[in-house]
Chain A
Amino acid sequence: MRLDQRLIAQMIEPRTRVLDIGSGDGSLIDHLFRSRGCDARGIELNMQLVTRSVAHGLPVMHGDADHDLAHYPDHAFDYVVLQRTLQAVENPREVLRQMLRIGRHAIVSFPNFGHWQLRLKLLFSGRMPMTAVWHTPWYETPNIHPCTIRDFLELCRQDGYIVEQWMAVDEEGERAPWRRSIRLANLFGEQALFLLRRRGA
């Protein structure tokens, strides 16, 4: 399991209901079931990964964040997790809204487009930045909605979501030491991780 998945798992209370959107090979839900006793389920777009997960006994269904969340009833889960995918969905604002409708909490991670390397590359080369995190050229990237940590916080403010925890981490998922300052985190964090809840939830 990736280190940032470990950080996500630490945000989740034991024996809760969890929906992991983009569950990949299922390692997070497997971990949540085995070590935290959670009722953890997954949605995954890649059919090979779905088959692999189900063949490992994990409750995973084929589907995607943009189209399949609308069917779930309100408050069906305690946590709805979206890992490194928000920037790639068709409608990030709606996906976030659905996550906080069907779950009490949303856990969202995304690559931070405010990272200093990206800023410098764009400034000096005048071309779309390519880094270890943003490694696909503009014409074939799935990341159609890049945002920075500050952009994301602004959306949370607009839509009335409460940020319970946030952290900036580097690509390997090590927690980075910029917890006090959002501006510094936005400059030095490669990946951002947020635990949100709805106002009044």
Chain B
Amino acid sequence: MNSTTPLAVGDHPHIRIDEGLDLDCGVHLAPIDVAYCTYGTLSARRDNAILICHAFTGDQYVAEQHPLTGKPGWWSSMVGPGKPIDTDRFFVICSNVLGGCMGTTGPRSVRTDSDGDGQELWGTAFPPITIRDMVRAQYKLVRALGIDRLFAVIGGSMGGMQVLEWTVTYPHMMLAAMPIATAPFHSAQNIAFNEVGRQAIIADPDWLAGRYWQAGVVPARGLAVARMMAHITYLSEEALTRKFGRRVRRGPNQGSAPEGPVSLFGDIFEVESYLRYQGSSFVRRFDANSYLTITRAMDWFDIAADHDGEMRAAFIGTPVRFCVVSFSSDWLFPTSSARVLLRALNQAAANVSFVEIETDKGHDAFLLEEPGFDRTVRGFLCGVAEHAGLN
């Protein structure tokens, strides 16, 4: 893993927003770049746009081959012609989040503010950001695309947090919202998992106090460990058992695991091999300082915090039609946390649909093909279109 070279910055389609953003922390960040992808065609009345908010380690490449990994888009089962989010009908936008590392301004961007000389990268000097800051950047993009009101905002996990933040910050900017596998605040358990990930990165000698890019290295081992740990939280015990059980991969193959700790017996369990692969492929596409910045933004997320601790106050009078989805085996964002959100939405008499999808695939289920989930997304969007007279 130590041989991993620094990330290729690459050129991702983006817009530059010269006036920048006022961040929650008080810093004015300008200019900013927002990298994004679109699919489908914006209608003449500009009323068919759906914004998709990606999860923590996702990016804007929703439904096309990823330029770095060569893999299919992370939600290509959901988004495309004839898919539940049908690009023959809707104009789909997805942007890389603020603080990310796939073209939107973040810790790996060149620092162009008055303190920077245009040569340095932001690194750990990048200001702390919030989920709302991410949403503000998306809002600027949406307006720059000439869209006054979105048809829907959809996202899972951290994407779902952004969806909720959209409904609270810009309630009149959308007809419908789908927060999926998410929660109205980050739980102590989730903050704890994030902290383990951060400590793994910081403890890597190659992190170099956040200035690893100057030395031309990346804290690959720390970042991989963070990813391996996080990946376990995205699955479920049933899913791990079904996929790997206690199967062992015999000695000779073990050499192919790059510099992993040597097994006492020269053999490794398949689940170990899988996690190592997840870790090592992750460091090729994700920046360690982005990891620190974004996990911190998730930790600070709490919809009620801006309303004196009263979550329902955030939603009173909301015109948005909500569809909340949870997954039965998701223990990272369990159905019980969706119900906290639902209670607040009911207290505000909001228009809410809520489905818990039965699955053993854990948190990651929202990224995988789940027939009940696909039908829910498709049907909900059709229903919203019908109510809005958009057929």
Contact = CB atoms under 8 A, between A and B. Distances in A.
Given A57-B380, A59-B321, A77-B349, 5 more contacts: A51-B355, A54-B380, A59-B383, A61-B342, A73-B347
Interface of B: 321, 323-324, 342-343, 346-349, 351-358, 372, 375-376, 378-380, 382-384, 386-387
Main secondary structure on A side of the interface with B = mixed
Contacts, number: 66
B358 A47 contact: yes
A59 B352 CA distance: 6
A53 B379 CA distance: 8
A54 B379 contact: yes
Contacts of A53: 353
Interface of A: 33, 39, 41, 47, 50-51, 53-63, 68, 71-73, 76-77
24 contacts: A41-B351, A47-B356, A47-B358, A50-B354, A50-B355, A51-B355, A54-B353, A54-B355, A55-B380, A56-B383, A57-B382, A57-B383, A59-B351, A59-B383, A61-B353, A61-B354, A62-B354, A62-B356, A68-B346, A71-B347, A72-B347, A73-B348, A76-B349, A77-B349
A39 B349 CA distance: 12
Contacts of B378: 55
B180 to A, nearest CB: 13
Nearest to B348: A73
A51 B372 contact: yes
Q: Which 8 A-B pairs have the closest CB atoms?
A: A57-B383, A55-B379, A61-B354, A55-B375, A76-B349, A71-B346, A54-B353, A57-B382
A54 B323 CA distance: 9
A73 B316 CA distance: 10
Contacts of B324: 61
Nearest to B347: A71
B347 to A, nearest CB: 5
Contact of B349 (A47, A50, A60, A72): A72
A55 B347 CA distance: 24
Nearest to A42: B353
Given A51-B355, A62-B356, A57 B346 contact: no
A62 B355 contact: yes
B237 to A, nearest CB: 22
Contacts of A58: 353, 383
Nearest to A58: B383
Contacts of A60: 353
Contacts of A68: 346
Contacts of A72: 346-347, 349
A57 B358 contact: no
Contacts of B387: 33, 57
A33 B383 CA distance: 11
Contacts of B355: 47, 50-51, 54, 62
